[in-house]
Amino acid sequence: MESQNLADFPRPVHHRIPNFKGSYLACQSIKDLDAYARAQEVKVDPDKPLEGARLLALQSGKTLLVPTPRLRTGLFNKITPPPGTTTAVLRKCATSQGVRDFSVPIGLDSSVRVDLLVVGSVAVSEKGWRIGKGEGYADLEYAMMVSMGAVCEDTPVVTVVHDCQVTDIPESLLEDHDLSVDYILTPTRVIATGCVRPKPGGITWSKITSEMLGKIPVLRSLRDRERRAGKEVSIRAEAQPLPGPRSKHPAPRSSAGRPHDVPQPGTGALGAACGPPREEDSPPAATVCVGNLPPGARVRDLKQALRELGAAPQRLVWQGEQRRALLQYPHAAAAQRAAAALQGLRLGSCALTVSPAGPHGPTGPGERPGS
């Protein structure tokens, strides 16, 4: 997609659900599906190429649910536009920033019944077999919705991709917890997969680790609920790290190019690490310097790009005269993830430089904090 210039912001598209030129056009096809016409509550993932689907759901007056990032604060949020909303505000509500600004969390005890799911994909086959980023969040979200009674086997699943992302996928790559799709929307086609592969029937607790339970509160709540119902909820035993020097091989990368913990053998997608602790809970300790800002660049433009890439710092020191900004993070690992996510970032016609800047970066007159 990069080499053929099919990709769209944010770029590069590696290690993320790729956005592509024509994603809005592809999303528009969803309104022609009978399953969409019947749906009242629609869950759409927060990926950039699905922005058009989120906007369409809001414009159609449907209840829009969006999963919370890395499931840290719950399973999903309901987008609630303010009264008298204009088309411009609805467009903002459909963006990642709008999801944060105009949403309320949905608790496990809420009587939610999702009628249609829209998920992002890295690749998908015409048989309905899907590959995501490899972290397993879409699969886990679906399994959790099954456990709370929000979806069933007949709930349609739609994905929106570029035509080049529709490809053959060997069935040997699939596991029981992998989510299949019923419809594929591209800029040129609507594909009904007719997939007969069973969707996940709930959470596969044997693939869940104590680390995942520690980082996903709603997962702990679901486990307690299922334990009280008499179900088997034993989780995977933790593998002990082998002694010896640290590996020289880089860690796998997540949706925005951020390294994450290496999953243990045999865990499949659900075994991938589920993100770091909340970074705002500790004081800044590491800094990334972003340089070569274009003349006249505005701090809000950089902040928006950082939010889109999942690299928002705890504190931003703007040094416009030096055409740079210092991004401060709570620890070195967070700074490294951000630096990896920002590689290839452009503002206007300028390719930005990204480099570490020591524990807190240089200081001097004219610096001011941001958020």
> Which tokens is 126 given?
């015409």
Average pLDDT along the chain: 79
Of the candidates 274, 288, 57, which has an alpha carbon nearest to the alpha carbon of residue 158? 57
Label residue 25 by pLDDT band (50, 70, 90): very high
The residue-averaged pLDDT of 43-53 equals 92
| pLDDT score, position 121 | 93
Tell the CATH topology of 23-192: Rossmann fold (3.40.50)
Please count the CA atoms within 13 angstroms of the CA of 323 that sit on its side-chain side. Answer: 11
Label residue 72 by pLDDT band (50, 70, 90): low
> Which tokens is 26 given?
């592809």
- Confidence check: pLDDT of 147 > 50: yes
Q: For residues 352 and 289, is the Cβ–Cβ distance under 8 A?
A: no
| pLDDT score, position 273 | 33
The residue-averaged pLDDT of 155-161 equals 96
| pLDDT score, position 135 | 67
The residue-averaged pLDDT of 86-110 equals 80
How many Å apart are CA 243 and CA 135, to the nearest integer? 26
Q: What is the pLDDT of residues 240-267, one digit of tens each?
A: 343 444 443 444 443 333 333 333 333 3
The residue-averaged pLDDT of 341-363 equals 73
- Confidence check: pLDDT of 62 > 70: yes
- Confidence check: pLDDT of 137 > 80: no
| Domain chopping of the chain, boundaries | 23-192, 279-356
Tell the CATH topology of 279-356: Alpha-Beta Plaits (3.30.70)
Q: What is the pLDDT of residues 302-319, one digit of tens each?
A: 888 888 777 888 888 888
CA angle 13, 177, 174 (to 5 degrees): 65
Q: What is the pLDDT of residues 118-134, one digit of tens each?
A: 999 999 999 999 988 77
> Which tokens is 316 given?
């931003």
| pLDDT score, position 314 | 87
The residue-averaged pLDDT of 198-224 equals 85
- Confidence check: pLDDT of 272 > 80: no
Q: For residues 56 and 24, is the Cβ–Cβ distance under 8 A?
A: no
- Cα-Cα end-to-end distance for the chain: 33
